[in-house]
Amino acid sequence: MNGLVVLKIGGSIITDKSSSTPKSLADAIERIAQEIAGVSGSLILVHGAGSFGHPLARQFKLTEQFDVQGIIETHRSVKSLNTMVVDALTLSGVPAVPVHPLSCALLEQGRIRDMQMAPLREMVQRGLVPVLHGDVVMDSARGAAILSGDQLVPYIAQKMGAERIGIGSNIDGVLDNQSKTIPDITPSTVDRLRVYISGSSHTDVTGGMLGKVQELVELADKFGISSRIFNASTPGNITRFLKGETMGTRIQKDK
């Protein structure tokens, strides 16, 4: 889909991730909504769960066992965060609609096996902005499992033929061993950079930066979809990303 952008906003930006109970950051949610409203174009937004998802997933041991009450409470909680994000976007004039992964995706051993893409395609074609989120999702092998927004983004981008991906977290991009941002990564440079990237993985809570980078490098290489990992807690950076400006780390195909 020509010009489509898939943007993930990490749970650490829109919630207080250090809190053991759900705590949203209303000012950040409003700022993000306004930045998105300020730039036109086709967009699919994915947001993380932060303190609305991780503590409940841990409490009910959802990565280890099937728990009906855990599914209900965790989904209910992440859905309430999604409602806040969609409401803020709506108030800012963005035609946002909620899309809950629990209702349209199926996992197998924690990986997306199937997901309904036709409604997303129609939404985007008609100018709507689907807003998805990290969720608890049915799993054909385990009963249910946690689906991170980090897995949703490359999957959706590939299925929809997106042009660009943005990963907005609270770090300035992919950092080297001196905590400096690596500006560009391509399939031919990733091997050389691997040792530095794994060194900075402690800053990432959902499975490590290296895994994320590798997945994005593969997407660039195979499908020509470029991505940018940037600091979305810095005001103005989402606007910059949407406008295609340079900041953070860009991952793209070799020229």
237 is a contact residue toward ligand IPE (CB under 6 A): no
Which C-beta is closer to ligand IPE: that of 132 or that of 175?
132
Which C-beta is closer to ligand IPE: that of 75 or that of 250?
75
- CA gyration radius, the chain: 17
212 is a contact residue toward ligand IPE (CB under 6 A): no
- DSSP letter (8 states) at residue 49: -
Task: Collapse the DSSP code of 14 into the 3-class scheme (helix H, G, I; strand E, B; otherwise coil) and give the result.
Answer: helix
70 is a contact residue toward ligand IPE (CB under 6 A): no
Instruction: Tell me the C-alpha distance between 174 and 154, whole Å.
Output: 17
Query: Residue 227's closest CA among 35, 48, 7?
Result: 7
74 is a contact residue toward ligand IPE (CB under 6 A): yes
54 is a contact residue toward ligand IPE (CB under 6 A): yes
Q: Measured from the CB of residue 125, what is the shortest distance to ligand IPE in angstroms? A: 26
Interface residue with ligand IPE, options 149, 166, 168, 248 (CB under 6 A): 149
136 is a contact residue toward ligand IPE (CB under 6 A): yes
Which C-beta is closer to ligand IPE: that of 81 or that of 193?
81
| Helix H or strand E encompassing 123 | helix 118-125
Query: Residue 59's closest CA among 134, 112, 111, 136?
Result: 136
Q: Which of residues 77-106 bind ligand IPE (CB under 6 A)?
A: 78
Residue 163 contacts residue 3 (beta carbons within 8 Å): yes
Query: Residue 79's closest CA among 45, 49, 114, 124?
Result: 49
Max CA pair span of the chain: 51
Q: Which of residues 170-209 bind ligand IPE (CB under 6 A)?
A: 205-206
Q: Measured from the CB of residue 46, what is the shortest distance to ligand IPE in angstroms? A: 7
71's tokens = 């599914």
Sites of contact with ligand IPE (CB under 6 A): 10-11, 48-50, 53-54, 57, 74, 78, 134-136, 146, 148-150, 205-206
